[in-house]
Amino acid sequence: MAASVTAPGHRLGDTRRLLRALLPSLSLALVIAAIAWLNPRAMSYFGFTLMLNLAIPIALATLAQMFVIAGNDLDLSIGTFVGFVCCVSATWLRDTPWLGALALLGCIGVYACLGALVYLRNLPSIVVTLGMSFVWQGAAILLLPKPGGKAPGWLQAIMGVKPPLVPFPVVAAAVIAAVGYFGLMRTSYGAILRGAGGNPVAVRRAGWSLLKAKATLFALTGAFGVLSGMALVGITTSADANIGNGYTLLSIAGVILGGGEFVGGRVSPVGAVIGALTMAMAASPLLTFLRIPPDWQVAANGAILVVVLAARVLIGRKGSGQ
């Protein structure tokens, strides 16, 4: 009897879930279709390489943000952190590689400590990371008071690879998504990390350390933030302390666009990368083709975010109605 009662609801839930799962890809398809319609010539190897130029660092920063969000936190410092990493890469990493590498590893350690601090003192991560955003920016300015520096040659070479047929950013995005997916969704410890966001009490009762989980999540954020900064400086070849400032919003938007939620450990690495690509293309190529004046591009980004969140609420509401 139970089966016959629950079956229709079950199927309705399925379509809702499918719709939710497809929302990130649909948004990306919509953006690409719009660009294709506005400017068919952009649909080429060269066009995609150009349009998705900055998508790699954005995707990495988005994954970084996704790890803290998986633990019900938020990193408002990821933008300035990416900027700081750029500065380190364009100076120390080029001039004295061992010092640069040590500094970047140290940054990951700082992130792990922040995670431990947030957990042990039960601090709101927003305020802590807001404070840290000033620390990173200050350190970046100290390191590189004026825009300049030069990315190490090998970094530029990596970012300049031209694989046959498929543009490099697309290949890189696929690799990043795969690494994120296997790391968080398919490893046995990844399940614990997500579980700690979903039901911390149950995870602790099963004998796991929440401190370790939180520190790991923050360290992963730091690690992907480092990769994002290195990728960014590899593309731009020189650095600037303010170069990453926009990444805080882009990364949060990417995670949410990709189906992540702020609480409950509900995140999707593949969705986050798709969300990042969408944001990267919507952030300027689409708006340029739409001839939206530069004045309104920031507003358009905010509006896209609001529209997507509204769409999700609508889908969710249909579900709760029955």
Taking CB under 8 A as the criterion, which residues in 177-196 touch other proteins?
A: 186, 188-189, 191-192, 194-195
Q: Closest separation between CB of residue 200 and other proteins, Å?
A: 9
Site membership for other proteins, residue 1 (CB under 8 A): yes
User: Rounded to whole angstroms, how far apart are CA atoms 151 and 155?
Assistant: 7
Q: Closest separation between CB of residue 55 and other proteins, Å?
A: 20
Among the listed ranges 88-96, 100-108, 120-128, 281-289, the one in contact with other proteins (CB under 8 A) is: 120-128
What SS3 class is residue 145? coil
Q: Closest separation between CB of residue 29 and other proteins, Å?
A: 23
Site membership for other proteins, residue 309 (CB under 8 A): yes
Spatial contact of 239 and 229, defined as CB atoms under 8 Å apart: no
Angle at 258 between CA 44 and CA 184, to 5 degrees: 110
Spatial contact of 90 and 234, defined as CB atoms under 8 Å apart: no
**Under 8 Å CB-to-CB from 295, ≥6 apart: which residues?**
none
Stretch (H or E) spanning 274: helix 269-283
Return the number of the residue (41 or 122) whose C-beta is nearest other proteins: 122
Within 28-47, the residues that bind other proteins by CB under 8 A are none
What SS3 class is residue 239? strand
Q: Which of 19, 26, 117, 158 binds other proteins (CB under 8 A)?
A: 117
Calculate helix-pair angle for 55-70, 168-180, nearest 10 degrees: 10
Q: Closest separation between CB of residue 174 and other proteins, Å?
A: 22
Q: For the chain, how big is the Rg over CA atoms in Å?
A: 20
User: Rounded to whole angstroms, how far apart are CA atoms 131 and 113?
Assistant: 15
Among the listed ranges 95-103, 151-159, 172-180, 305-313, the one in contact with other proteins (CB under 8 A) is: 305-313
Q: Which of 8, 9, 40, 163 binds other proteins (CB under 8 A)?
A: 9
Within 73-102, the residues that bind other proteins by CB under 8 A are 74
Sign of the CA dihedral running 285, 55, 247, 93 = negative
The CA dihedral of 275, 279, 280, 284, to the nearest 10 degrees, is 160
Q: Closest separation between CB of residue 171 and other proteins, Å?
A: 27
Site membership for other proteins, residue 256 (CB under 8 A): yes
Return the number of the residue (2 or 165) whose C-beta is nearest other proteins: 2
Site membership for other proteins, residue 145 (CB under 8 A): yes
Within 213-242, the residues that bind other proteins by CB under 8 A are none
- At residue 109, φ and ψ (nearest 5 deg) are -60, -40
Site membership for other proteins, residue 130 (CB under 8 A): yes
Among the listed ranges 91-99, 151-159, 210-218, 289-297, the one in contact with other proteins (CB under 8 A) is: 289-297
